[in-house]
Chains A and B, each alone.
Chain A
Amino acid sequence: DGGITQSPKYLFRKEGQNVTLSCEQNLNHDAMYWYRQDPGQGLRLIYYSQIVNDFQKGDIAEGYSVSREKKESFPLTVTSAQKNPTAFYLCASTLDRHNSPLHFGNGTRLTVT
């Protein structure tokens, strides 16, 4: 079955450490997205990529970095510069055209202490 795989489901890190969240899709979608979800705040866009080797900052990119070396993969690194990294992170993909629905993975819950 086609879909988006995020791993791991739960991740624990100490403050000051960088951590990389994995996102892989086999839907042959062009565009991929990273969202952060906090209670009561909806989904906020961190980064997105419409083609390989290109990506754009979203609304809350500070303290995060991404790469898009392959069409299927869009890993997110949460750096030590991110002031409040504990959150639920969602990866999504879509065909790169207007009104195409977003397909989401099941998220990674990151806890930093």
Chain B
Amino acid sequence: QQQVKQSPQSLIVQKGGISIINCAYENTAFDYFPWYQQFPGKGPALLIAIRPDVSEKKEGRFTISFNKSAKQSSLHIMDSQPGDSATYFCAASWGSNYQLIWGAGTKLIIKP
């Protein structure tokens, strides 16, 4: 059963545009929602993490929004740059459970 559904699977955006990636969570017990960025041939690295009591968190050009009632989260990348081309993963965990449930990933390509 897929508890974290991520979309789209792939995304092409022109340089300077806005990239939007979505995640839907099926488990209402989730209370920690990290997003990871992975460049080819590298391991993922934490981008931003959010908790359900926060509706939005911003790190430079990257913003995560969270809708608790809809059980959805979105990653927005403003002024997208070719260096943002990577695979992005959303994930979730709950309570004292240290394991993350991962989305399937979104391959983002920023065209110069």
* B49 engages A106 (CB within 8 Å): no
Known: A98-B93, A99-B49, A102-B46. A42 touches B105 (CB 8 A): yes
Q: Is A105 part of the contact surface with B, judged by Cβ < 8 Å? A: yes
B103 (CB) vs chain A CBs: closest residue: A42
Q: Is A110 part of the contact surface with B, judged by Cβ < 8 Å? A: no
Known: A101-B46, A106-B43. A42 touches B89 (CB 8 A): yes
Q: Is A43 part of the contact surface with B, judged by Cβ < 8 Å? A: yes
Contacts of B44 in A (CB 8 A): 43, 90, 102, 104
Which residues 80-99 of B have a CB within 8 angstroms of A? Answer: 89, 93, 95-99
Q: For the complex, give the distance between the alpha carbons of A31 and B9 in Å.
A: 30
Shortest distance from the beta carbon of B47 to any chain A beta carbon, whole Å: 10
Contacts of B97 in A (CB 8 A): 98
Contacts of B49 in A (CB 8 A): 99, 101
Give the dominant DSSP class at B's interface.
Answer: loop
Q: For the complex, give the distance between the alpha carbons of A100 and B102 in Å.
A: 15
Shortest distance from the beta carbon of B80 to any chain A beta carbon, whole Å: 22
Q: Is A40 part of the contact surface with B, judged by Cβ < 8 Å? A: yes
B4 (CB) vs chain A CBs: closest residue: A42
Q: Is B60 part of the contact surface with A, judged by Cβ < 8 Å? A: no
Q: Which 9 pairs from chain A and chain B are nearest by CB?
A: A104-B43, A42-B102, A101-B46, A42-B104, A43-B102, A99-B32, A106-B42, A106-B43, A42-B105
